Amino acid sequence: MRIGLNLLYLLPGEVGGTETYAAGLLDGLAAEAEGEEFLVFVNREAADWPLPEQCNCHRVICKVSGSRRSQRYWFEQTVLPQMAFRAGVDVLHSLGYVGPLRLHCPSLVTVHDLNYRAFGSQMPWARRMTLEFFVKQSVRRAERVIADSTFSASEILQAFDIPRERIVVIHLAAEPDRAMRGATAVGLPVACGIEPPYIVAFSSRSPNKNIPRLIEAFAQARESRGLAHQLVLVGHQFADLEDVASECADRSVRFTGYLPDEMLRAVLANADMLAFPSVYEGFGLPVLEAMTAGVPVVCSDRASLPEVAGEAAVFFDPYSVEDIAQKLAEVALNPTLRAELTRKGYENVKRFSWERTARRTLQVYREVLGR
């Protein structure tokens, strides 16, 4: 079986969890399906993106830029189908929401979430309408639609008129090299201005990530609940978030900016907890990555997060500053609770693995081909 994997959306280092998904799935597929051949279609920016070392995985570099969406959509609908046909692809799996609408072979598409619908008012109208058209048509024309979670599957069913049996829920997993138990904290204060104890979160201005409310809750917890931690926001620095953080006059909110992988692992592994306040997630990979590292998780009780975190997290109402502040302080000030959350986290992550993800995905490939 010759399987095509459409990664034309992939911009290394810029697309977050969908890159982790692509890397984890490819590693799993290459290991689990030694008798199959995988053709990985990538754009120019991903020409050097690492593929699994197994000889059954081959890169096909397409003459298109992944950063120019209109150009990529045109290429995806016109040139990619011809390339797949000439390469003898038996089934094509598009990993990033959108796939070719006309193909000579069965197709699958992974739709991670419908964030562009939930927060459409925050997006330029033309981009939102383009996404709406291509995602809807891709979903309707694919033999199978893969969703990251039961939550995402229900969102897709509600949004698009397709039979339930065409949607398959296949969970993701933590990135393997994020298993960072015991990572060193040496150099953290010098490099990032971090002073333990601290709470870690991921910086984003996307409205679903809910970071301004987290900062407000953290400030409240320090002021009225005895919290003595820093809040370390990993990732891009945004002026609007810094403005919110400036209300914490003692500089207890730290923005690290971009961190290389080794430093990122150390920052996460040595945190007292991960705070994940998102109001909308299709899966929530950082939750599993923190648990894999032995870091307690305090997170939102919305969308897919209860499904992913199971009984291994302390949940809060992400729309309530008061509730977030209470739960941050509750975990930060209770070492016994943190130890219990760490233990439960290690157990919870056993439910997820890229090998399991790959085996189930491979099964879907065979189902659509009648094998």
Residue 245 confidence (pLDDT) = 82
CA-nearest of 267, 264, 263, 268 to 287 is: 268
For the stretch 292-346, pLDDT in tens is 999 999 999 999 999 999 999 999 999 999 999 999 999 999 999 999 999 999 9
Residue 192 confidence (pLDDT) = 65
Quick one: fold of 176-351?
Rossmann fold (3.40.50)
Residue 182 confidence (pLDDT) = 41
CA-nearest of 4, 20, 326, 332 to 174 is: 20
Q: Considering the entire predicted model, what is its pTM?
A: 0.92
CA-nearest of 270, 211, 218 to 235 is: 211
Within a 10 A sphere around the Cβ of 319, how many other Cβ atoms?
A: 13
Burial, 259: exposed, middle or buried (Cβ in 10 Å; 0-12, 13-18, 19+)? middle
Residue of 207 and 307 predicted with greater confidence: 307
Residue of 191 and 260 predicted with greater confidence: 260
pLDDT at 185 over 80: no
For the stretch 344-359, pLDDT in tens is 999 999 999 999 999 9
What is the H or E stretch that residue 33 is in?
none
Q: What is the mean pLDDT of the chain?
A: 92
For the stretch 99-152, pLDDT in tens is 999 999 999 999 999 999 998 777 889 999 999 999 999 999 999 999 999 999
Q: How many CA atoms lie within 13 A of 173 on its CB side?
A: 23
CATH class of 2-173+353-368: alpha beta
Within a 10 A sphere around the Cβ of 105, how many other Cβ atoms?
A: 19
Residue 243 confidence (pLDDT) = 80
Cα–Cα dist 62/4, whole Å = 13
Six token digits for residue 222: 């320090």
pLDDT band at 161 (very low <50, low <70, confident <90, very high): confident
Of 1-10, 177-186, 190-199, least confident by mean pLDDT is 177-186
Amino acid at 227: L
Q: Could you tell me the sign of the dihedral formed by the alpha carbons of 10, 205, 169, 173, in that order?
A: positive
Residue 371 confidence (pLDDT) = 73
pLDDT band at 176 (very low <50, low <70, confident <90, very high): low
For the stretch 213-257, pLDDT in tens is 999 999 999 999 989 999 999 987 777 788 888 876 568 999 998
According to DSSP, the β-strands at 273-276 and 297-300 are: parallel
In SS3 terms, 79-114 reads as: HHHHHHHHCCCCEEEECCCCCCCCCCCCEEEEECCC
| Average pLDDT, integer, range 64-77 | 95
- In this structure, are residues 94 and 110 in contact, taking their beta carbons and an 8 Å threshold? yes
Residue 239 confidence (pLDDT) = 75
Residue 189 confidence (pLDDT) = 47
pLDDT band at 180 (very low <50, low <70, confident <90, very high): very low
Q: Enumerate the domain spans of the chain.
A: 2-173+353-368, 176-351
| Average pLDDT, integer, range 273-289 | 97
Cα–Cα dist 111/135, whole Å = 8
Helices and strands (DSSP H and E) totals, the chain: 14, 13
| Average pLDDT, integer, range 151-163 | 96
| Average pLDDT, integer, range 274-295 | 97
pLDDT band at 188 (very low <50, low <70, confident <90, very high): low
Q: What is the DSSP letter of 164?
A: G
Amino acid at 172: L
Sheet holding 107-111, edge to edge: 57-61, 37-42, 2-7, 91-94, 107-111, 144-147, 167-169
Beta strand residue intervals within the chain, DSSP E: 2-7, 37-42, 57-61, 91-94, 107-111, 144-147, 167-169, 198-202, 230-234, 253-257, 273-276, 297-300, 313-316
Q: Could you tell me the sign of the dihedral formed by the alpha carbons of 307, 311, 314, 316, in that order?
A: positive
Q: How many CA atoms lie within 13 A of 370 on its CB side?
A: 2
Domains 2-173+353-368 and 176-351 share a fold: yes
